Each structure stands twice: as structure tokens, then as C-alpha cells.
Amino acid sequence: MSNRMWGGRFAEGPDAIMEEINASIDYDRKLYRQDIAGSKAHVRMLAAQQIVSADDAEKIVGGLDAILKEIEDGTFTFSRALEDIHMNIEARLGELIGPAAGRLHTARSRNDQVATDFKLWVRDTLDTLEQQLSELMLALAEKADAHAGDVMPGFTHLQSAQPVTFGHHMMAYVEMFARDRSRVRDARKRMNECPLGSAALAGTSFPIDRKATAAELGFDRPTANSLDGVSDRDFVIEALSAAAICAVHLSRLAEEIVIWCSAQFGFIKLSDKFSTGSSIMPQKKNPDAAELVRAKTGRIFGSLQGLLVVMKGLPLAYSKDMQEDKEQAFDGLSSVSLALAAMTGMVKDLEPNTKVLKKAAGSGYSTATDLADWLVRVLGMPFRDAHHVTGRIVALAVERNCELHKVPLEDMQAVDPKITDEVFQVLSVDKSVRSRVSYGGTAPANVRKQARRWLKELGKA
């Protein structure tokens, strides 16, 4: 038997393999809310334009509401033979209200229907991601404010570089995730044009009102070109691009949590809520949540790359290849959403070991730059000369196996006789971080100011 949704062109039904490769209902059923919302907007517009009768439109809207309830109650039967969510809903609508259901598809195609449904779903998801990013930024800013003055080592090449504060480190991630939130907002704004009314690819001869359907569905305007309206998937690619960049930031923070939780570092503590044990080693407490956030980054990258490859060679307008867009988006965007939720929980949960951090902050001759700056500021030495003098003093500390502030003054003066005992005032980690008062620097006053600015913006100050 031919698929009755395809009309009279086909005399035979599809081969079983054709049905298997063609069906998308197993995953695109996620779009049921958006599909029903789009259909209701469409039929109301058709009635307003007197393309269908008010009575038929009322029956269709009532039937769609009944289907929505069935799906949400779990009593709706999905059929793979009907391919996708659109045909499943339309077939059930016919069962519920009879011939009037056939008028719903007037002046539209599955091409503009699926583009509209998918845009609505991506837009809803971006709204969720924006809220999740705000919650993560808030958790980081609160942690930064609480630990604005707690010193820790700052690293380059994972080697001790200069002292910073734990709050300053947290605020670095606030800035990263703020850019992610900005990208999400930009992507939402750019995608907010309605494809409905583009029909299959050329528009329609019916006197439809595309501005009305766009407005009812919360779009800023209709798409300006029907070919582009049905074939554009930039909105998904851009959403996944934003998700991929966000995943980079999540993975970097996850990596630091994994390192910081290790016995070798001991910089932070994570509670049992975000840790797991070992089946054989009873002493183990593993930061599995952080490791899984780090790993999900690969899935998110894969979703973006997969969709880019699907779209790269498609001529205008619609091709069935584009059915492969949804699984990529569903997996990638749900993965970043889960990772954001897990990271927010971990940030709220973690507590820095301030004593360990302070001790580590002074290791590795981390105040060497402060010594060089002192030579420039107090003795008027050119920075390159000061860099050389400081390097020689560090070499003395290495030779004596002591910290920089424990090198005797007379040994320093052997390198440069103008050095006085005032130099020891800049060699402590606390004084080092307090001196970094330039805008964006790690001075605790700076960190508190930035943290509280973000707390105010996020509505928690």
C-alpha cells in the first residue's frame, strides 16, 4: 500500500529498508510542541484570510489541543510508517475531526513546516542555555566574592608563574561564560525569522499573511526569501558553534577541577555529591562529574562537525540530507545543557583549601616578577637589566634550595649592590597580589569590585 500522505503518485509502498532509512519519528517526536504551535498559528491565519472556514479552523485547533494532551499523557501512538512528527500529528488529526483535517496543510509544505518547528525548538533551547549560563556565572561570581583575597598560584605552561587569588581565577571563567552567553543571545536574535509560508520552496499563490504567523509564534519577521527559508540551517550550525565554544570553556574548568582535586595538588575539595568511588580501591574519590563534562566536549564538537559536513554540498533548496540535522542538534545541545548543569553544581559545591593554596602560591619563585618590578620602580633600572638581575638571584635561590624571600640580602647585593632590605616587602605573595591594581588585575579590591558588578547584573547583589 502506498503512503496516503504522498498522494496518488506512488502505487507501491516503500521497501522495509527504505522505511528504515527514511523514518525520523524516533527522534523528531521531540518537536511535537513546536509542530502543534506552528500548525495552530497557521490555521488561525488561514481562517483570518478566509482561506479556510472559521468552523474548520476551530475544529483543527481543538483537535491539535487534544493531540497535545495525548502526547503529554503518553497515550499517543507514534507510527514509523508515517515517517515523522508532522505526518503522525496530521494523521491523528484526521482520525479525530475527519475531513476538516485535510485543510490544515493548505498553503504550506513539510519543508517550511519542519524549518519552523526546528527554529522554534532551537530558540527554546537557546533560551534555556542562556539561563543556565547566567546561573553558572552567578555561582562563579559568588565564589569569587567569597575568596577574593585568598591567594593561589597562577600558572603558565602549568608551571608556577605569579601569585593570583582564587577569586580572580573564578572571575576569569565568569568572563568566558559571559562571552558564551553573548553568543547565545546573538544567535537567537539572528535566527528569529519565521520560515512558515515559504511552502516547498517558491512561496504560495494563496493570500496568506506571513507577518501574522510570525508574530503569533514570537518571531521578529518572516524570512525574506522562500528558497532560503526552507533550506537554511545556519541557525542550528550557529547554535552548535556557540555550544562548542562554551564546551571548550567547560572542559578547561573541568580539567582544572580534576587536577585541583588530586592528592598531588589538593587545591579544592568536592563533596560526595559530585564524586564517585572505586570498585576495588576503597580510598578513591574520583571527580567523575568533571571528567564527564570534559568528555562531552567531544560529542558537542562532533555534532557541529557532522552538521557542517551534511550541509556543505547541498544545492538549493531542500534535500532529504537535511533530515540528519536534528539528531546532531538534539545530542549536541542537550549535552552542553547537561554539562552546564553539572558544572554549576560543582562550582557551588567545591571549597578551596586556602592553606594549601597559599603555600603553593609562594613556590616556584612566583614573586620573581615583583622583584624585577621593584628594581625598575625603586632603582630606576631598565626592565631588561632588572630581568637579568632577578634571574641571577633566582639562580642563587635554586642553588641554595630556598624560596626567593629567604635569599640573604648580602647575596642579593653581590648581584647588585644598590638592592636594600626594602626589597623583602614585595617578595610575599600577599603583597604581590595586593600590588596588582591595574584594571583587570588580581588585587583583591579589584576582584571584589568585578565580582559584585556581575552579581548586580545577575540580580543577586
Q: pLDDT class for 419, splitting at 50, 70, 90?
A: very high
For residue 43, the model assigns a pLDDT of 98
Q: pLDDT class for 2, splitting at 50, 70, 90?
A: very low
For residue 218, the model assigns a pLDDT of 98
User: What is the share, in percent, of the chain residues with pLDDT greater than 90?
Assistant: 77
Question: Model confidence over 134-157: pLDDT tens digits?
Answer: 999 999 999 999 999 999 999 989
Nearest CA to 414 among 393, 387, 399? 393
CA–CA dist 374, 384 (Å, integer): 13
CA–CA dist 183, 248 (Å, integer): 14
Question: Is 278 known to be catalytic?
Answer: yes
pLDDT over 90 (residue 286): no
C-alpha distance from residue 13 to each of 21, 92, 287 (Å): 14, 20, 53
CA–CA dist 41, 205 (Å, integer): 19
pLDDT over 50 (residue 246): yes
pLDDT over 60 (residue 1): no
Phi, psi for 268 (deg, rounded to 5): -135, 165
Burial class, 157, CB count within 10 angstroms (exposed 0-12 / middle 13-18 / buried 19+): exposed
Better-scored residue on pLDDT, 397 or 195: 195
Instruction: Compute the 3-state secondary structure of the chain and give helix, strand, coil in percent, each to the nearest 5.
Output: 70, 5, 25
Whose cell is 559536513? That residue is: 309
Which positions ≥6 away from 155 have C-beta within 8 Å?
161
pTM of the full structure: 0.90
Q: pLDDT class for 7, splitting at 50, 70, 90?
A: low
For residue 401, the model assigns a pLDDT of 87
User: What is the share, in percent, of the chain residues with pLDDT greater than 70?
Assistant: 94
pLDDT over 70 (residue 281): no
Question: Model confidence over 335-366: pLDDT tens digits?
Answer: 999 999 999 999 999 999 999 999 998 887 88
Which positions ≥6 away from 435 have C-beta within 8 Å?
370, 426, 443
CA–CA dist 27, 35 (Å, integer): 14
Q: If you average pLDDT over every residue of the chain, what do you get?
A: 92
Q: Looking at 201-353, list the stretches that DSSP marks H as alpha helix, in order from N- to C-terminal side.
A: 210-216, 226-231, 234-261, 288-311, 325-349
- For the chain, the C-alpha Rg in angstroms (whole number) is 31
One-letter amino acid of 341: A
Are the CB atoms for 133 and 347 separated by under 8 Å? no
Q: Which of 157, 205, 279, 438 is catalytic?
A: 157
Question: Is 86 known to be catalytic?
Answer: no
Stretch 76-82: mean pLDDT:
92
Nearest CA to 290 among 339, 330, 328? 339
Half-sphere exposure of 162 (CA within 13 A, CB side): 19
Cell of 348: 557551588
Q: Which of 2, 53, 271, 278 is catalytic?
A: 278
CA–CA dist 266, 263 (Å, integer): 5
> 3-class secondary structure for 225-267?
CHHHHHHCCHHHHHHHHHHHHHHHHHHHHHHHHHHHHCCCCCC
For residue 324, the model assigns a pLDDT of 87
Whose cell is 483543527? That residue is: 60
